[in-house]
Amino acid sequence: MPCSRGSGAGRRRNAGLHVLLVCVVLGAAPAVQARWYQVEVLVLQHLSDALHGGEQWPLLPAMPDYSNALELATEAPPAPLAVPGTPPPPPTPFVLLPRGERRLAGAETSLRASADYAPLVAAAWRQPSYGVAGARRVYLADVPRTLPDQDPLEPVVQDNPRVEGAVTVKIARLMHVDVDFIFEHRGSWVRLAESRNVKLRQVHYFDHPLFGVIVQVTPYALPNEDPAAPVGPDEPEDTDAIVPTRSGGDSVGSGRIVH
């Protein structure tokens, strides 16, 4: 019996040693952080008749359903009060960024100066990863889908969109972007729907003879976040990253675009 009690105590000591070793190993591993992203979208129209030659487009069998796509907020809610000694809270996701914080603002300016193209939608927002199954669809259009609060006694007059659609960023080791847009052309609708494997920082163009969609996804470093820290195994590799120094001038809002 004494021998039996001694074996039980030994097993408990071994179990405790195992837990201690696991904690030491995990504590020695570098911290893995969840990455945020800045997503930029430009929707443009082809103005030159030579690009589509007056071609007749078939009627869509059904209009796409965008009811489950979220609309970007025009401004972020007030930030909660900072607690001393704790990291600042993350920004509010899916808020429309001002032009000064958009990386494709120069491309938009060039398109507006072109005789062949006209920007219809220019939008950018920041979001964390929702993986693939939980990826959010973001609704975009040339006119807002919802109107600000107004006097209920006043009639609501709202233009119909000429272009509308949704963009979905599916974060995984191989990142995908889905675009699904419709464009009104001579009284009928044409559709551009495509899913594509994309790389961080690269500018991707989804093309239709009548219009197109430009998308860029860039890592966004939160305040007090180390841009060089490793990310999870389900995050895309950032092979073109140039890590800024702490004293660099890469600040955008309360965080940093990792160039």
pLDDT for 162 equals: 94
Residue 141, amino acid: A
Q: How far is CA 119 from CA 49, 57, 176, in A?
A: 16, 22, 24
pLDDT for 120 equals: 96
Domain boundaries, the chain: 1-30, 34-257
Which among 159, 160, 163, 206 has a CA at the least distance from the CA of 183? 163
Q: Which of 1-5, 23-27, 36-40, 65-69 has the lowest mean pLDDT?
A: 23-27
pLDDT for 232 equals: 76
Which tops the pLDDT comparison, 62 or 21?
62
Q: Which of 50-59, 88-97, 175-184, 186-195 has the lowest mean pLDDT?
A: 50-59
Name the one residue in this structure whose structure tokens are 């820290």: 229
pLDDT for 87 equals: 76
pTM over 0.85: no
Q: How far is CA 46 from CA 37, 117, 167, in A?
A: 29, 5, 20
Q: What is the average pLDDT score of the chain? A: 79
Q: Would you say residue 245 has pLDDT above 60? A: no
State how far the Cα of 223 lies from the Cα of 119, in Å rounded to an integer: 32
